[in-house]
Amino acid sequence: MKRLSILLVLTIILLNSLYSQERNTMKEVGIYFSNFDAFGIRYKFGNEKHMFRITALSLNFGDSKYKNINGTGVNQNETLGGIGLNVGLEFPTELTENFNFYYGGELSGSYSYNKSQRIGNDANKSNYYRAGIGFVMGFSYRISSNILLSAEIVPCLNYSANTNNSSTTSTRIGFDLNNNSAGITLSYKFNKK
In this predicted model, what pLDDT tens digit does every residue of 142-155 receive, in sequence order?
A: 999 899 999 999 99
107: domain CATH number is 2.40.160
Give the mean model confidence (pLDDT) for residues 92-98: 92
Prediction pTM value: 0.72
Mean pLDDT of 5-24: 57
Q: What is the pLDDT of residue 73?
A: 67
**Radius of gyration (Cα) for the chain, nearest Å?**
20
Q: Strand, helix or coil at 21?
A: coil
The pLDDT value recorded for residue 44 is 92
Q: What is the pLDDT of residue 139?
A: 96
Ramachandran bin of 167, using left for φ above 0, alpha for ψ from -120 to 50, beta for the remaining angles: left
pLDDT at 47: 87
Structural domains in the chain (count): 1
pLDDT of residue 111 exceeding 60, the answer is: yes
Query: Above 90 in pLDDT, residue 116?
Result: no
- Secondary structure, 3-state, 106-161: EEEEEEEEEEEEECCCCCEEEEEEEEEEEEEEEEEEECCCCEEEEEEECCEEEEEE
Total Cβ atoms within 10 A of residue 7: 10
Domain housing 149: 2-192
- pLDDT given at position 79: 80
